[in-house]
Structure 1
Amino acid sequence: MADWSQLPPELVVLIAKRLEAGFDVLRFRSVCSSWRSSVPPRLDPHLLPIYLPYSRRLSSYHHRRIHITRNTFYLIRLSHGNKAQAPACWFVKIRDRTDGVKMQLLDPFSDYNPKPLPENFPKVLDLSNVQVLELGHEYIGQYKALIDHPSAHIYRDYRKKVVLLRSNSDSNDFMILTFFQCLAVRRSGEEEWVMLENVKDISDIISFNGKFYAIDYEGRTTVIDQSLNVSFLQQHAGTSRSRKFLVKSVDDLLAVERLLNPVVHSSGGPMSNCSGFRVFRMNEEEQKWDEMKSLRDRILFLGYRQAISAPASEFCSGKGNLVFYLKGFSACGLMRVFDLETGTASPLENWPAYCDLFWPSPQWVNSAESVISSAQVSSNSTHPITSAGREAGTPSSKCSFTRTH
C-alpha cells in the first residue's frame, strides 16, 4: 500500500488548493501531520465576535452581537448494488456544530428542526458507507435585539442571511454582506460596517466570481466589488414586486423569479398564490440578464432564504428542468414541483421518484442497521459526512445530531 505521507510537499500543496468541500479539507488534514500543516484551517465568520450594523434610523434598537451559523445541504444516497436500479436519496440540511452544540438536522426548506422525529430515528447516523454529495451552504446571522418600550423592554429574535466572500483560496481574509434595513459590508479584522443605504427592498444576496450581488423586488441588481465599488446591471430581471432568488448553477449566476397570482382567501382577505417561475442567466460580458427557457439537466430547490442548484443525474430519476418549492412561505407549506418544460405545477405526490427525497425521513434512514450494512462505498464525487472535527487519526464517519421533540 502506498505511503501517502511521503508525497512530495509541493504536490501535497497543489492537491490541497483544489479542495473546496469542508469535509474534504477535514479528511485531508487528518491523514498525517505534514498534510495537516499544508492546509491551515480556514477562519470562518462564526468564530469572530461580530456586531450588527448600526443605523441611526433605529436608535431604539440596542446593539447585539451576531452569532453566525453555517448550514450545509447534502444529498445522501443508498445504493442498491444494482446499477439498473436508481439509488434511494434523501435531501437534508445540517447546521454545523458551534459553541459546544451538536450538529442539528434541519428542514432543507426552512430553519426548523423536523418534528416530530420518528421513534426509530437514530440519534447517530453512521454515514461511512453511504454516498454523500455536498450541494451548497448558507450562512445565517442570528441575534436578539432589545427594543425600548414605554411599558417594558422587549426582546426579539432576528435571523438574516449572510454572504461570505473570500479574497482568495489561500487567505483567511474575507468579507461578509448582510441586509439589515440596508445593505451592509464588513471586512474581516475591521470593526466598522460600510452601509449602502441607497439600496433597499432586497429580495436576495449572493457572492459570485469575486463580487457581491443583491437583487431587489423590482429586479434591479446591485454589484459590489472587493474595493466596495457599487454598480448596477443594465437590465432588470423579471417583473415588479415579485420574490426573486439568486443561485449559482455550475459556472452561471441565475436569477429565479417566483410569479404570484392574487387570490382571495376563504375568509375574504387577499392572498397570493405561486403561478410559476421564470429563470434568467446573467450575461457578464454585456452586464444584463438573459431569460432561459430551460434548465436542461439541472434541478432547483427554493428554500426560505437559500436557493440550491444540483445536477439531476445525481437524483432518483435523473429528470431535470424542475423547481421544488413550498406552496406558501411557512415551514408547514405543501411541497410542489414546477416543470419548466410544460410550465405546470403539481404536488410532490405526482412525482413518485422524489416522494422520499424530503421529510419525513425514508425508512432506510430510520433503520440504522440498513444504513451500516447495506450501503455501498461512495463514488469519487461524494464526501463522507463527519462531525468529529479532530485533527489527527482517522476522521469519524458518524454524524451526531441534537435531537429535539
Structure 2
Amino acid sequence: MTSWSNLLPEILNEIAGKLNFYEDFINFLCVCSSWRSLVTTTEDLIRHQHVLPSRFPMLMLAETDTEEDEEQDCRSLFLLSSGMMRKVKLPEAQWQPCVSAHGWLLITGEEEFSAKLLHPLSRTQIHLPQLYMFHELYFDQHEWMYYRHFMRRVVLTSSDPKDPSFRVIIIWGVTLGFCKLGDVSWTRINGCEGNLFDITYHNTRKRLYVMATMGTIYEFDILNNDVSRTSTLHLLTTFPGKDFGCLCLPSAYILEWGYDCLLMITRERKHYKKHDDEYNDYGPYSTKSFQCFLLSLDDGKWSKITSLGDKAVFLGFNSSFATNAGRGVKPNCIYFTDDHYEPYLDLPDGGGADVGVYHMVDGSIEGVFDSQESVFRGSPPLWLQTTNDQSTLVVCS
C-alpha cells in the first residue's frame, strides 16, 4: 500500500485543487515534507492566500505559563468562524513579547535588543534593525522584562515584504520609529507631543496617521522619508472632545475607514476595588463602553456615528482593523482584547482578562468564548487579521 507521503505530485495537485479555504490548504501542506514541497517559497503561499477565501480573523492566546507543559512552544487559536480551538507550533515566539499586524508577528528579544517579523506558517523570519534607537531601553538593561512591554503597536504599509513600499512602523513607549528592509537602524519620527495612542496606515492616501493625547492627529508621508531626511510629523487636527461631551480620552484607537476617512474609537474602562496598597493604580478593571467618531480627511470635519453597519472592528495589541461581517464575525460589533499594558507589568496575576465583544446597537458586552483559557497572564492576546484585509498570516495545526 502506498504511503501518504509517496503520493504522486499529480495526485497531490488534484487534491489541493479541491480545497476551498486557505487554512485547509495550509493544513494540507503540514501533513508531511513531500506534500509541503508543492509550495517552495513564501511568495507561493502569499499567492494562494490572495486566491482562496479565509476563515480569519482569529484570536491568538498567550502561551502557557506552566513550565511542565509539553506544549509550551504552541499557541492556541480561537476560530471565530467555527467556535473551535486549534493549536499551532510557534517556538520562535515562546516567552517573547509580540504584537501583530497584517498577518505578521513582530517579536522582540532580550538578546542585543533584537527585532524580527515572524511568518507563523513558513517560519520565515525577517530580521529588523536592533532597537537601540528607542531610548526607553537604556534605563536599565537588566530590567528587560519591564521595558520590553513598552512596545505598543506595529503597522505595516504592505502585507508583502517584497513590495518596495514595505515599511515597519512601531510605537515603543513615547517613541515612534520606522524602518524598511535593509536599513541598519530605525528612524525616529519626531514632532509628536503627549502619549502615543495608536497609528494606522491609510492605503488610499499612502500616509501614516498618528493619534496622541487628547485626540491630536498627525500625518506623515512614510513612503517618501528615509534615514537621510528629517522625519517630522505634520499636525493635522485635534479631536473637538467638548463638542461631543468627551472631556478626556483615556484610551483611543484609529484606523482607515473608507477612501477618505479615519475612524477614531474611544474606550472607557471601569475600575473595581483597588488590588492592594502596592498596586493601587491598577486594580481589577473591565471595558465599559466604546464611542466612534469619523474624521473626514477631505475637509477635516468630525462626526459621531452610532453604527458600524455590516462591519466589525478589532482592537488590542494588534494594528486596529475592520472587516466585513460573516463566517462567525458579527456585524456592528467591536471585538477587543486587553491592551491596558500597565497590569501586565504591575499586577501579580498579570493582565489580559479584559476580552470581549461590544455590541454597538445596545452597548452590551459578551465573552469571546467560554473557557478558562480566556485569561491571559504571560503576554497579550492578539487578533490575527483576515486575508482580505491585507493580511498574510497563515497557520498550521
**Normalized against structure 1, the TM-score is what?**
0.50
Aligned residue number for residue 106 of structure 2: 140
- State the structure with more CA Rg: 1
Aligned residue number for residue 310 of structure 1: 323
Change (3 A) 1:27 1:283: farther
Change (3 A) 1:39 1:168: closer
CA-CA distance at 1:205 after TM superposition: 1.6
Contact 1:223–1:232 at 8 Å: present in 2 too?
yes
**One-letter amino acid of the counterpart of residue 341, structure 1:** V
Partner-residue secondary structure (3-state), 1:105: strand
Partner-residue secondary structure (3-state), 2:167: strand
Aligned residue number for residue 187 of structure 2: 194
Alignment of 1:135-174 (within 5 A): 137=103, 139-144=105-110, 153-156=142-145, 158-159=148-149, 160=151, 161-166=153-158, 171-174=163-166
- How many residues align structurally? 272
**Normalized against structure 2, the TM-score is what?**
0.51
Contact 1:300–1:307 at 8 Å: present in 2 too?
yes
Partner-residue secondary structure (3-state), 2:214: coil
**What fraction of aligned residue pairs are identical, expressed as a percent?**
16
Aligned residue number for residue 227 of structure 1: 224
State the alpha-carbon separation in 2 of the partners of residues 235 and 137 from structure 1.
31
Contact 2:214–2:238 at 8 Å: present in 1 too?
no
CA-CA distance at 1:257 after TM superposition: 0.7
Change (3 A) 1:34 1:335: closer
State the alpha-carbon separation in 2 of the partners of residues 341 and 169 from structure 1.
39
Aligned residue number for residue 121 of structure 2: none
Which protein has the bigger strand share? 1
Q: Deviations over 1:218-258 (max 9, x none)?
A: 11111111223632332427543421122345666422110
Contact 1:279–1:292 at 8 Å: present in 2 too?
yes
Q: Does 1:92 align with 2:92?
A: no
Contact 2:102–2:159 at 8 Å: present in 1 too?
no
**One-letter amino acid of the counterpart of residue 76, structure 2:** L
State the alpha-carbon separation in 2 of the partners of residues 32 and 123 from structure 1.
19
Change (3 A) 1:25 1:282: farther
Q: Does 1:212 align with 2:225?
A: no
Which protein has the bigger helix share? 2
State the alpha-carbon separation in 1 of the partners of residues 61 and 311 from structure 2.
22
Aligned residue number for residue 297 of structure 2: 284
Q: CA RMSD in A?
A: 5.2
Q: Does 1:243 align with 2:262?
A: no
Change (3 A) 1:169 1:386: closer
**One-letter amino acid of the counterpart of residue 184, structure 1:** G
Change (3 A) 1:193 1:294: same
State the alpha-carbon separation in 2 of the partners of residues 345 and 235 from structure 1.
29
Alignment of 1:269-280 (within 5 A): 269=280, 274-280=287-293
State the alpha-carbon separation in 2 of the partners of residues 32 and 266 from structure 1.
50
Partner-residue secondary structure (3-state), 1:156: helix
Q: Does 1:338 align with 2:309?
A: no
Contact 2:74–2:87 at 8 Å: present in 1 too?
no
CA-CA distance at 1:163 after TM superposition: 1.8
In structure 2, list runs of 5 or more residues that go unmatched.
Answer: 1-9, 11-21, 47-53, 63-71, 80-84, 90-100, 114-136, 226-231, 344-350, 375-387
